[in-house]
Amino acid sequence: MTMNLALPQQDGLRGGRWSTALILSAILAFFLADEWLIGVSIVVFWMIWRFLPTLEGPPVLSVALTFQWVQVVVGIYYHALTGRTLTAIELSDYRPMVLIGLICIVSLVVGIKLGFRLPAHNHGVAAAKLELEWHDLAVAYIAFILFSGTVQTLAWQMPSITQSLLALNFLRYGVVFLLFRRLLRPPVRWGWIAAILVVEVGMGATGYFAGFREPLMILGIALIEVFDRRKVGNWLALGTVAAATIISSLIWTGIKITYRAEFRDEEFATSREARMKRLGSLVSDWFDQDIDRHLRDTDKLIDRAWPVYYPALAMTRVPDPIPHTNGQLLWEAIIHVCTPRVFFPDKAKARSDSELVRQYSGIGVDDETSMAFGYAGESYVDFGVPGMFVPIILYGVFIGGAASWLLKKIHTTELAVAIVTVIAWLSLYLFERSWIYMLGLSATLIICLGGAGILADTLLERRQAARLAHASDQGAGTEADALIVSP
């Protein structure tokens, strides 16, 4: 069975009809919904898909900021549709924080748009748009499968270069994306796509964190690149990936505490087979639970995915009685990123989100608890409204400028698309990420992945030049031989 998904880049939500429909939906939501923020959110959603630059390849910038958008508004949509309450709704004034979160996304849209307008001249010699060979992709993927575990282990054993090694490991996502992208060309090879997905989800699910979601998201991005809203099969494929992501996240919410507790056993932690068996048992037990348990797990998932509670509490305490810090948190993040541990081994650890929650939200939590304060909350504590949006715009300029430069610098089109897709996605998709991790991750990705992409591009161009020279020599030799034997 084949399904023709490979079309020119979709007009998707950029078309005039979609724009009109979304604006009308926003106006209708203002009058029909009890929550006025739903109408505002629809306008922001339209801006994400209307104004961000269209890159060669998938619309990864729009997809990443849409994921942020979902995090900002998922709670109000869930409450409006189901009537079920959430922690942020019960215990905080969440609306100002949701509105600020939406403005943060608009600020990123503005910054990225400006970043793509920066000069990004390519001073190299223009090269033919090379295409990677299947052999290159297959060898790279097998190498990552064999050595990714070793690289991760080494990363945590070498704290001075941990982030760099982990960033290089993200190159696997680029290879997986290119494999999916190739396999979606007609005839679409769903068998191979499913096989890669099983391997990737299996590897991610047996880790300590929820690493199974990344391959699903990567496949979703590849599908969106070739999405045609007029084809039912396209909706079915994308809907299946979305459903798999949501259901797997729901199951993980229900079993992760029990599953992670098993890692205290060293034998379990070092045996992928033991982890896989235990995971299968827990998933089976979860499906046997009653509907009330599943609903409670759904509430927990939405609570976790809607990271507005702690920054919303901070807004009631800053600037009165706690004053704004006038940029202290952002400055600490910049200094931390600009002093890599490989050169400054004695630098202090990064301030944890738990510490920020205790100080600014007034909630007593320990450092072992997973908190989500996020860059938006930190920016508010630093500068307040409207000054908090300036650094967010500048970060968008940084990401947009870097993506534009890499797309021009790397001549091998497929390689450039893969590198920029991974960097843009990982740098932009999380609303709950703090400044220190956002800046550190994006800078590391641009340096390590961008550098690896430029190096690989140089090697591919040299290989292509050598092949052309060899073919030219053979052609010249054949012509000379013909002259010699001619009468």
- Quote the DSSP letter at residue 360: I
Confidence band for 32, pLDDT divided at 50, 70 and 90: low
Q: Which of 134-148, 199-213, 229-243 holds the top average pLDDT?
A: 229-243
* Residue whose tokens read 């430029």: 454
Percent of the chain as helix, strand, coil, to the nearest 5: 75, 0, 25
Confidence band for 431, pLDDT divided at 50, 70 and 90: very high
Q: Which of 34-38, 107-111, 474-478 holds the top average pLDDT?
A: 107-111
3-state secondary structure of 334: helix
Q: How far apart are CA 310 and CA 393, in angstroms?
A: 23
Helices and strands in the chain, H and E counts: 21, 0
Sequence-separated (6 or more) residues with CB below 8 Å from residue 132: 178, 412, 414, 415, 460
pLDDT of residue 367: 64
Count Cβ atoms below 10 Å from residue 137 Cβ, excluding itself: 18
- Quote the DSSP letter at residue 352: P
Could you read off the pLDDT of 318-328 as tens digits, one per residue?
Answer: 999 999 999 99
Check pLDDT > 70 for residue 369.
no
pLDDT of residue 92: 95
Check pLDDT > 50 for residue 139.
yes
Burial label for 422, CB within 10 Å (0-12, 13-18, 19+), is: buried
Could you read off the pLDDT of 245-266 as tens digits, one per residue?
Answer: 999 999 999 999 999 888 888 8
* Of 230, 229, 221, the residue nearest 13 (C-alpha): 229
pLDDT of residue 5: 43
Could you read off the pLDDT of 433-456 as tens digits, one per residue?
Answer: 999 999 999 999 999 999 999 999
pLDDT of residue 26: 67
Give the tokens for residue 113.
């748009």
pLDDT of residue 120: 58
pLDDT of residue 464: 83
Q: How far apart are CA 486 and CA 481, in angstroms?
A: 9
Rounded mean pLDDT of the chain? 85
* Of 310, 299, 300, 303, the residue nearest 101 (C-alpha): 310
CB 5 within 8 A of CB 233: yes
Sequence-separated (6 or more) residues with CB below 8 Å from residue 242: 220
pLDDT of residue 477: 57
CA dihedral 363, 369, 372, 373 (to 10 degrees): 40
